[in-house]
Structure 1
């Protein structure tokens, strides 16, 4: 008799020992780690200038002038903030910027929503052509309008007024705002408007009771995006504002430059910290609504 060979047992290969799945997991882990590193670098690049600005605003003049400007302060002082308000008309500058920003945003939201509503929701024969004309305004540089606007404002005595800054700022921001509102309105179901129309609502009532409540996140997005540029506007304010009492923040910061170009840097940094704080706080509070507004088209 021939002896039977003992059966060979084959050890099952566990998923952790298999080649391709393990390589895929390692690749996924490497990709996740690389993504975190890149995000951390981007955050550092974005946050470091703000942190340096705030720390420098707390340094003494002598420490900033004689020490390493990128080192930690040897002493902390709030005199820079006191001097920032004493040297320039900072409080009035902030108030002027606030008035111009709110006035321009009011026009942008009101006119932008109404134009987008007429183009996208109501529609008419040449609505796509008119929308294209509005979008062409995005590529028009603001510099070409300075001289004509200055001449027109001089003729109607509108120089050195809030309106002289608000109107062009709102006008040049309208094309992008109309595009954002139109993109959002495109994804509102037509059945919503038809149901409201069957209930007896007219175009104005539908706009106020249906479209407006659904557009809150988009309104927040438009306001925040435009507020950054309006708050920091220099070219229109520098062209149309002549008196000290109407200067906005970008013009007011020139007051910290003394004779022969001498600049009070620590007071200037303190003034900049004061002026950017409102925008940062508003952005942090409304950050979620802004992201939802930008993604509203895809989400709808």
Structure 2
């Protein structure tokens, strides 16, 4: 027993060390980012950039809004993120509902086609989409970013919703049908409420990628008024490639803080959504 306890203690110690290292690797960059955003330009330029702040100032945050259109960039990113998530959730839920609940011939083939979209790289769509947008007048609009972001996120959304709907008892739908409920009522009163945790999961996961998207915004946005946050950070690059680093770090802090707070508040629902879909599947 003593030898077994010693092995368990060693395993616990190794697990603790591994978790501590993971936390340090994840937390240190964020801590360094926030501390650097509080340093003066002179302190950052004259001393070790990884040292603690010699002087603390909030001027970097004011300069971040003065140098670039940070407020407008945040609004554009918010509009794109919300629009793409609405499409991802609605279309993903409806597709998964048709595949798993309503059922139809060749639904397995349709599901396979959707899942193939997971492995398609986004880069191959840039040139065709640019040409199509230019021909129909969608270039340099919010929709030019929302449509491809939603389209490339749909396969995973459909997979997670399908995995969850597959394990909803069929008796639930049969009882609703016997009470006279049609497919639309079943979807609105049964399927949708049961899907809330999965919806939160999909929204949070996709919001991180949409909020930080650069490739679609850089390709389809031409005017300064529609720039999202990743494009707006280029405003802090001055003449001869000089970068106002402390203002840039302050801008990054402002832009990532809302997403972090939302994630911390809703992380339990996200974990439950993953468990209800992926673990059961």
TM-score interval (norm. to shorter): over 0.9
Q: CA deviation at 1:299?
A: 5.9
State the Cα deviation string for residues 55-90 of structure 1 (Å, max 9, x = none): 000000000001011111111000000000000000
Report which of the two has the higher share of helix: 2
Structure 2 Cα separation of the partners of residues 189 and 30 of structure 1: 44
Residue equivalent to 1:172: 152
1:41 is aligned, of 21, 29, 33, to 21
Q: Which has the larger radius of gyration?
A: 1
Which runs of no fewer than 5 residues in structure 2 stay unpaired? none
Structure 2 Cα separation of the partners of residues 272 and 120 of structure 1: 42
Residue equivalent to 1:145: 125
1:135-284 matched pairs, under 5 angstroms: 135-284=115-264
Q: CA deviation at 1:278?
A: 1.0
State the Cα deviation string for residues 101-152 of structure 1 (Å, max 9, x = none): 0000000000000000001111111001100000000111111111111111
Structure 1 Cα separation of the partners of residues 246 and 4 of structure 2: 53
- Runs of 4+ in structure 1 over 3 Å off: 297-300
Which runs of no fewer than 5 residues in structure 1 stay unpaired? 1-20
TM-score, L = length of structure 1: 0.92
Structure 2 Cα separation of the partners of residues 268 and 27 of structure 1: 49
Indicate the SS of the match to 1:200. coil
Structure 2 Cα separation of the partners of residues 198 and 33 of structure 1: 57
2:58 is aligned, of 65, 78, 82, to 78
- Verify the 8 A CA contact 2:163 2:280 in the aligned structure 1: no
Indicate the SS of the match to 1:286. helix
The CA RMSD over aligned residues, in Å, is 0.9
Structure 1 Cα separation of the partners of residues 258 and 265 of structure 2: 11
Aligned pair count reads 280
TM-score, L = length of structure 2: 0.98
Q: CA deviation at 1:26?
A: 1.4
